[in-house]
Structure 1
């Protein structure tokens, strides 16, 4: 569960952030004097300013408004952040598993009264400067957030979203419901009936994930009498039960201003925005009572046991593949205890020496374990999770958990646990500083405010953060956490034991059931009903294929070229040298964090040891050293720094097929903890011992389990990686190290571990020695100038500890037999990649970016998503290759044909000057994507290693600006040549792959048993 536990830790961090566990940091760009003329209880454009409060902790002023006529709530979080945000949210408690709120979320963005085009969302996506544009359905609410650094652009986005939610075209056009939700599809009277729809396909993909199914079972077990037992996204088996009438009635009920919360953020002309929202939208509505109350779950009298199933291939072994979870409903909890429970989850299972994790491991319950506190809904939950276990261990699992919790209460947390608490504070300090210096802090604050509105909490209290943190420093000595265990876990009968079991061939069984059900449905239809269904299918496709009129498109707001920032913001990079090692210094404000990266040359590793290079990146930092066992090492990393990661990757040379393989060592630490970072890195790269046999075995088993457990979610990554291997040596190298070959390698090591143990240790030692060497080493530091002086002093000492040997550079040769491959996984949908190499490199990268915008957001969106029913499709264009992809796609050959027909689309591309301007504007959004200091430095490092001049960035901007419709048409012939010698990789359902076996040279199952 290592990779999964990392995601749990991320959720935990976010949980604490969203519940006020941030620290007060003085951010100099903010000021509290903005719009000081606003006075409480005054009326501004129909809005009553209910309260106004400056919040020192986040250096912002929160204004709470009530719209008098409509009853809408509006919050404005005011500061000088130029990444401005807007969102509108609605309480949308579901009443069944049809996913009605999810389908509404998709559908309202398909045209509205003021913007009568089929997809204004798509138009804004391809022609605005948005830095964030999305819509999301949660368990009990739906939200529509956007962001932009350009205020005019934000106003355009606001207008599109407000018109979409209040005046959508769904009332006059049922085809929107069919397209976005679901519909029966019948091409001819003789064809088989199928079900299609974008949300339907999306959720078919989601329901292949055991983690999704596990958490569904948890909420159903704990809250059987509440809305939380329902899948708000929609269960694909039940989505077809949703009627158009229920769809419309649900929108009528929930999408009214009285049931909404509007959030504005950043450096805005708030008077202007209030006037716009009132005049154009809210003033048209009166207050309306909306029942969005959520029934509370009566406590369960005793622990409930619930069994669920997830699919695995029909010939797979089910041993050690069950998920076990003990879950507790946490009711009537205070804000302080809510934070305490988040910390408790990490204290109990956050490391191998944590009491609960240690006990489960010693008793051989599963391969890995973790705990998670989730306060994101009205009913918080606390779950203890184990994966790669067996059903027969469920009673033993319960007993170990209960006994361990009682032991902790009786004996208290030990010294290691106290160190873990210090580690938690260190981690949150880093996260807090990173968030407050990031471009997405507005999103964090938005979630805090919206969540407080959802559950009738005080948003000001949620944003006042310092005092909450300070109360926890000494609590581990006050038996505070032991009392939490007693109160919310051991004395809590409102709990469940969920067992999620693998079921061989379940996916195939479900597919067959659906096929039989549809066949039976068709057999009962009259000839007239069949003809009507064929007609409806044709009419839907005709509507989808009919382009919007130029008059309709012209209603959608856009910018002009004069609104663009045509000059690139250069990333400060100064090349220096210390002890013969190149150092790249990036002087950026980092809010007290040091970002250090080291790029070690890995070209000395022999080809037959490359898979050990990949394994090395996983085991480093998780093995014993000469100075510490692996648990002590983990404790030091957690307490003193933000972690050290190792990644074997490549950097492609500018305008060349050549690539440079590197091991990237990434270190994050607070300024005053940088000395510890160098001490710990020295310990890892120079003193690691690979001889802890049982722990090494465990790491290998976890790597195998991670791949197998996440395979249903990793289909797109597998397809992209494999397809990349068909066309370049760099692609072959990366695919070999990180994809199916590495998985097979890990399986072999796991199956033959005892026999191969000495060989594994020897090879890891050998590869480690080759990698961590001074030759060709490049080091990068990001921080302020004062921080660099300290860094240089520390690095001078550290560099003397790096070996300085000479090794021969290796030449790697991989199999050149490129194939069209189909890989079978337990899935209801496909992940498709089609790739080809250009005869010569493209020189004008900027024009390619415009081409990508056009293909992604015009052609592929329309053909693959809208008409094909896939959740998404896109294209990746490099200077010498093109890769088309689709994901959560119900089709296979049909989508490959769409990729091929892109040639005709480009050759016949016809856009007037205004349309080309819009495509250029949308492309600029990708050029100006907000990035934190670490991401900026990583980009500058990549350009340096790949020998890409920073002047190229300005050149790209100019190329984007100069792109014409003729340029796009010219790419049609180039793409045509590429597609004639292209290759396909499909990861997906066995039925679809076997049905289309004629297009594959090889068909394989990734997991054989």
Structure 2
């Protein structure tokens, strides 16, 4: 039996065709998105619907990638990361499904990976010791019994997010009786209840062809993919069973109320409604219309009600959540005191009642439908390939028994909604239905300062009780298992069974960067195949601004788009921009010169994009914002600053890895020094000081005056206008811009002072650590740069992955070279250890000094570097890459020499650069420390909370 084509649909807006297939024997589904892209994308997805929070779906995702029938090596997934030129490989566990995707531009590589992925998903070994490594295990640290395991520690880190805690608490009540009630990733307090046998049974019931959805996209032949699926999987697994579906939560006859505790400093209020199914496009888009009408801009009724309260701020969860089978709609406020909770709830409810009575402007709803069409047409960039992003957006329609075509094209529904929103009563009715919906959960969010200590106490008490009851034989069994696991982890692996791409198989020359035309009168206009999307960016050179102005520049970009302009209040300005363009942003960009003295180039970018029919609107939004921005709305400014500060304080633990990374690298690199000054731990006192200033009218007025003066200084700086679009749109769009003339000469890029090396332990109570060590090294123009890049990969592949992740239990650990920053870093992420991790960093350098480096391992490291160099870029991202390279001073000749150096790297070169730049050389250390009572390896403790207050 074979796959049968069921339907096709052309989607002109995407320049694509959707093809739907079903396997006649098993019912396995294959959806192909045919495009002209050179990129080829594959995924296989399974419904995973656990009814317990022991993390079985998540641990199975990890374990499936640890060896299979055809590829019985210990770690084929991570091995293929260095034997493939794929620019994306991953696996993801969602609340109700598990997805295994990859993307490559090389046909041989694509089918190599397809073979490995199919065998991993359908025929994994599910080895017992791998289960203990990836999931959880008992171990002894000295004479104390502890838990270890990669997923166990990953989820300890994930639980640091207050929003995750709130979301889980809401789901446990609103979606009770469904898979969404439990923590699919695994609650660390529940993970140790999972047995190896239960995990194997979960695989057998969920990972069968009758449950599988295969999806492909791009320039790959779907029939060739099907032949490989049939040969490798369907010829060996038969049978057909109904698709497992997440349960539907029942409707209520009356609202319910509950308290939810989260790891935060403030109270909050949240109201959550259960709406229709997310695969029904009408309720799905109605929920998005509801979100837009109530919340989309500062003039929206619910946003206005919450932001003008004089206390608190809108919740980070507000809006429609269509991530599960049923849509959940959220309205809430955070940043409250206990006394303000009732007032906040009443304020939300009254605003919702007012909206049901008065409605919202028709233009808001029109803009929402326009934006939905825009996102369907846009070729978007980012870390996830754009074709894969399209598949991931569509897959719920397939997984929840909806119509997959609606996952790619709902123009018929959008056209129907165009008609409905013309009647003002339509949106009023949506708001009234929300008011009348009895399936509503009223949540009081309670801050719990002891959230982490209480969880640790539960864990410690369980372990202590277990240890006290253990026989000597049981203790010996744990030690024997630990020894057996370590022996397995350290066993030399023969990866010859795995396919691989070798350095001689890749292009010897780099793909040329987009050839930007010379700027004419400060304008670069570029024609690109953008599928009818236009882009405009006005970039002001602020490189000469003094270091004291840096945090003010960051504050400026964070608030200028949230304030008024000209004769428009902030509410009117926000609504006006939303009415005209689907995307507007102001950002602060920093790049470090790759030649000369490493000076820092800074730019403030005003950026908008939209459909080509909106070119006049794009130009007007940018021009008016730049020319007429105002900073006299003091109450609004106070609200914005207070919200920023409180959000930062509540997320110190969740952002700990970023703070540690910047603290370690700031002394070594101008660009990292800048980032630390505006976004890292060094920025915390600045924002704390701002919060103190806004408590007085004089202080607030001084902040407003400083921003107003800064604005004039910015828009008087030298600028570059960059526009891009189809055909002749770009020059026409540039000509529409009306911008003030530059009044200042070009500023000379600054060179930040280099402080002493870091040795900081940034502490706030949490359950994991993040460890960093950083060395100053030369940039891309230096002859040693290519070998430094390869060295980072070989240290990761041969030492740190095993030491930090497999043996140490950290979720991630690696070494890496950043030519754009001139740093070489070793790091660990969500790490239960600290001192032992720094010892492993030192051991990695000892290893490179004495190891006999195998040619195969060097070639694998080379391929890892090439993967990053050869990642495909969207047409607009290609333009921005070229501009970024130009600003760094990176020439095509430099890129060619760098690639040649990577491809020709050998053992002698690797040892030489390690000795020259790393081994025994001074370096910075910084870690985020969740528990200050542990051995902190000589780091000087810095209280993050104190910095932020």
Aligned in 2, Cα 1:584/1:898: closer, same or farther, shift over 3 Å? farther
Please, which of 648, 654, 659 is the counterpart of residue 713 of structure 1?
654
The reply on whether 1:645 has 2:585 as its aligned counterpart is yes
Match of 2:183 in 1: 231
- Give the whole-Å Cα distance in 1 for the aligned partners of 2:206 and 2:245: 12
The reply on whether 1:184 has 2:138 as its aligned counterpart is yes
Q: Is the 8 A contact 1:437 1:591 kept in 2?
A: no
Please, which of 725, 750, 761 is the counterpart of residue 704 of structure 2?
761
Match of 1:1005 in 2: 944
The reply on whether 1:214 has 2:166 as its aligned counterpart is yes
For residues 11-32 of structure 1, give each alpha carbon's deviation from its aligned partner in whole angstroms, at most 9, with x where no partner exists. xxxxxxxxxxxxxxxxxxxxxx
Q: Is the 8 A contact 1:132 1:147 kept in 2?
A: yes
- SS of 2:422 mapped into structure 1: helix
The reply on whether 1:944 has 2:880 as its aligned counterpart is no
TM-score (norm 2): 0.93
CA-CA distance at 1:808 after TM superposition: 7.4
The 5-angstrom pairing of residues 829-840 of structure 1 reads 829-838=768-777
- Give the whole-Å Cα distance in 1 for the aligned partners of 2:598 and 2:408: 50
- Give the whole-Å Cα distance in 1 for the aligned partners of 2:668 and 2:569: 44
- Give the whole-Å Cα distance in 2 for the aligned partners of 1:630 and 1:937: 33
- Give the whole-Å Cα distance in 1 for the aligned partners of 2:733 and 2:481: 68
CA-CA distance at 1:208 after TM superposition: 0.9
Match of 2:302 in 1: 356
- Give the whole-Å Cα distance in 1 for the aligned partners of 2:529 and 2:497: 42
Aligned in 2, Cα 1:803/1:74: closer, same or farther, shift over 3 Å? closer
The reply on whether 1:931 has 2:873 as its aligned counterpart is yes
Match of 1:654 in 2: 594
Aligned in 2, Cα 1:586/1:859: closer, same or farther, shift over 3 Å? farther
- Give the whole-Å Cα distance in 1 for the aligned partners of 2:12 and 2:743: 51
Match of 2:348 in 1: 401
Please, which of 380, 387, 392 is the counterpart of residue 327 of structure 2?
380
Match of 2:715 in 1: 772
- Give the whole-Å Cα distance in 1 for the aligned partners of 2:555 and 2:190: 43
- SS of 1:504 mapped into structure 2: coil
Match of 1:31 in 2: none
Instruction: List alignment gaps of at least 5 residues for structure 2.
Output: none
The reply on whether 1:826 has 2:765 as its aligned counterpart is yes
For residues 713-759 of structure 1, give each alpha carbon's deviation from its aligned partner in whole angstroms, at most 9, with x where no partner exists. 21111111111212234432331122223222121121232142232
- Give the whole-Å Cα distance in 2 for the aligned partners of 1:56 and 1:683: 34
Q: Is the 8 A contact 1:651 1:662 kept in 2?
A: yes
Match of 1:150 in 2: 106
- Give the whole-Å Cα distance in 2 for the aligned partners of 1:686 and 1:402: 38
Aligned in 2, Cα 1:613/1:824: closer, same or farther, shift over 3 Å? same
Match of 1:371 in 2: 318
Please, which of 518, 522, 530 is the counterpart of residue 475 of structure 2?
530
- Give the whole-Å Cα distance in 1 for the aligned partners of 2:937 and 2:500: 46
The reply on whether 1:703 has 2:644 as its aligned counterpart is yes
Match of 1:35 in 2: none
Please, which of 395, 398, 402 is the counterpart of residue 453 of structure 1?
398
Match of 2:273 in 1: 328
Match of 1:615 in 2: 555
CA-CA distance at 1:532 after TM superposition: 2.2
Match of 2:679 in 1: 738
For residues 556-587 of structure 1, give each alpha carbon's deviation from its aligned partner in whole angstroms, at most 9, with x where no partner exists. 012344542333332333443444x3x44443
Match of 1:471 in 2: 416
Q: Is the 8 A contact 2:592 2:599 kept in 1?
A: yes
- SS of 1:169 mapped into structure 2: coil
Q: Is the 8 A contact 1:943 1:949 kept in 2?
A: yes
Q: Is the 8 A contact 2:83 2:502 kept in 1?
A: no
For residues 271-300 of structure 1, give each alpha carbon's deviation from its aligned partner in whole angstroms, at most 9, with x where no partner exists. 333222212221111205368354432222
CA-CA distance at 1:1002 after TM superposition: 4.0
Match of 1:595 in 2: 535
The reply on whether 1:432 has 2:376 as its aligned counterpart is yes
Match of 1:17 in 2: none
Aligned in 2, Cα 1:568/1:422: closer, same or farther, shift over 3 Å? same
- SS of 2:728 mapped into structure 1: helix
Match of 1:40 in 2: none
- Give the whole-Å Cα distance in 2 for the aligned partners of 1:639 and 1:903: 57
Q: Is the 8 A contact 2:542 2:604 kept in 1?
A: no
- Give the whole-Å Cα distance in 1 for the aligned partners of 2:300 and 2:329: 17
Aligned Cα root-mean-square deviation (Å)? 2.6
Match of 2:238 in 1: 286
- Give the whole-Å Cα distance in 1 for the aligned partners of 2:708 and 2:22: 66
Question: What is the number of residues matched between the two proteins?
Answer: 938
Question: Which deviates the most, 107-116 or 143-152?
Answer: 143-152
CA-CA distance at 1:842 after TM superposition: 4.2
TM-score (norm 1): 0.88
- SS of 1:901 mapped into structure 2: helix
Q: Is the 8 A contact 1:207 1:213 kept in 2?
A: yes
- SS of 1:620 mapped into structure 2: helix
Q: Is the 8 A contact 1:832 1:892 kept in 2?
A: yes
Match of 2:30 in 1: 74
CA-CA distance at 1:54 after TM superposition: 4.3
- SS of 2:326 mapped into structure 1: coil
The reply on whether 1:972 has 2:914 as its aligned counterpart is yes
Please, which of 934, 939, 945 is the counterpart of residue 995 of structure 1?
934
Match of 2:429 in 1: 483
CA-CA distance at 1:159 after TM superposition: 0.7
- Give the whole-Å Cα distance in 1 for the aligned partners of 2:704 and 2:576: 24
CA-CA distance at 1:156 after TM superposition: 0.9
The 5-angstrom pairing of residues 483-502 of structure 1 reads 483-487=429-433, 489-502=434-447
The 5-angstrom pairing of residues 528-607 of structure 1 reads 528-549=473-494, 553-561=495-503, 563-579=505-521, 581=522, 583-607=523-547
Q: Is the 8 A contact 1:611 1:737 kept in 2?
A: yes
- Give the whole-Å Cα distance in 2 for the aligned partners of 1:180 and 1:135: 14
CA-CA distance at 1:348 after TM superposition: 0.4
Q: Is the 8 A contact 1:426 1:642 kept in 2?
A: yes
Match of 1:3 in 2: none
Match of 1:117 in 2: 73
Please, which of 258, 282, 290 is the counterpart of residue 344 of structure 1?
290
- Give the whole-Å Cα distance in 2 for the aligned partners of 1:759 and 1:807: 27
- Give the whole-Å Cα distance in 1 for the aligned partners of 2:367 and 2:570: 16
Question: Which deviates the most, 201-210 or 637-646?
Answer: 637-646
Structure 1 stretches of 4+ moved >6 Å: 436-439
Q: Is the 8 A contact 1:253 1:290 kept in 2?
A: no
Instruction: List alignment gaps of at least 5 residues for structure 1.
Output: 1-42, 313-317
For residues 324-367 of structure 1, give each alpha carbon's deviation from its aligned partner in whole angstroms, at most 9, with x where no partner exists. 21111114684212211112112101112111222233444622
Match of 2:58 in 1: 102
Q: Is the 8 A contact 1:916 1:965 kept in 2?
A: yes
- Give the whole-Å Cα distance in 1 for the aligned partners of 2:7 and 2:363: 42
- Give the whole-Å Cα distance in 1 for the aligned partners of 2:885 and 2:308: 48
Q: Is the 8 A contact 1:723 1:835 kept in 2?
A: yes
